[in-house]
Amino acid sequence: MSSAPENNGRRRFLTLATAVVGGVGAVGVAVPFIKSWNPSEKAKAAGAPVEYDVSKMMPGQLVRVQWRGKPVYVVRRTKEVLADLENGHNDQLKDPTSAVPQQPDYATNSYRSLDPEFLVALGVCTHLGCAPTYRAGDFNEVVEGVQNGFFCPCHGSKFDMAGRVFNNVPAPSNLVIPPHMFNGGTMLTVGVDKGDA
């Protein structure tokens, strides 16, 4: 039998110290594990809205921006292009009134955009996902009487300057118009609806 006196205070201290160290260790392991469930910064950025200052664009110019890993075509349409969309070629289009929902409600018009001067469309053909080529001034080589548009070199689909698909081509529907809005008149934001701001 031991003759040393019992030291309950020391025993309680050691028990408490061991519990605290174990708790800190458990938190140290749990925090990185739980953080690993969150999407990475790259994944967050892939779905984030994209901004572009359209005031720098010249009439007739096309600019490509990336949104969710896809190209978005932004075209500053000329007065001649707008007149052609108003008066032109509806009888040659599969869906001239944008009845198939390939755009937000506010873009269901003959321009398929918030601001008639700017087309904002996914640069992805609705047939098999190729990238249509912007044809400015020589589109009449593929569609008689229409000077500007988009031609998909993969299988010959054709779209006008509102992204509407022409008849007798493989693409089944108009180009997709992503949600977009204009801040201050010149800053285009792709990926946010005008009602979400």
Give the span between the Cα atoms of 66 and 64, in whole angstroms.
7
For the ranges 12-16, 82-86, 89-93, 135-139, the lowest mean pLDDT is seen at 12-16
Looking at residue 36, what is its pLDDT? 64
- Prediction pTM value: 0.74
**How far is CA 83 from its chain centroid?**
28
Q: pLDDT tens for residues 144-185?
A: 888 899 999 989 999 999 999 999 999 999 999 999 999 887
Looking at residue 197, what is its pLDDT? 46
Show which residues are catalytic.
Answer: 155
Tell me which of 132 and 41 has the higher pLDDT: 132
Tell me which of 147 and 36 has the higher pLDDT: 147
Percent over 90 (pLDDT), the chain: 44
Tell me which of 13 and 58 has the higher pLDDT: 58
Looking at residue 122, what is its pLDDT? 94
The 8 Å CB, 24+ separation contacts for 184-188 are 186/53, 186/54, 186/55, 187/51, 187/52, 187/53, 187/54, 188/51, 188/52, 188/53, 188/54, 188/74, 188/118, 188/120
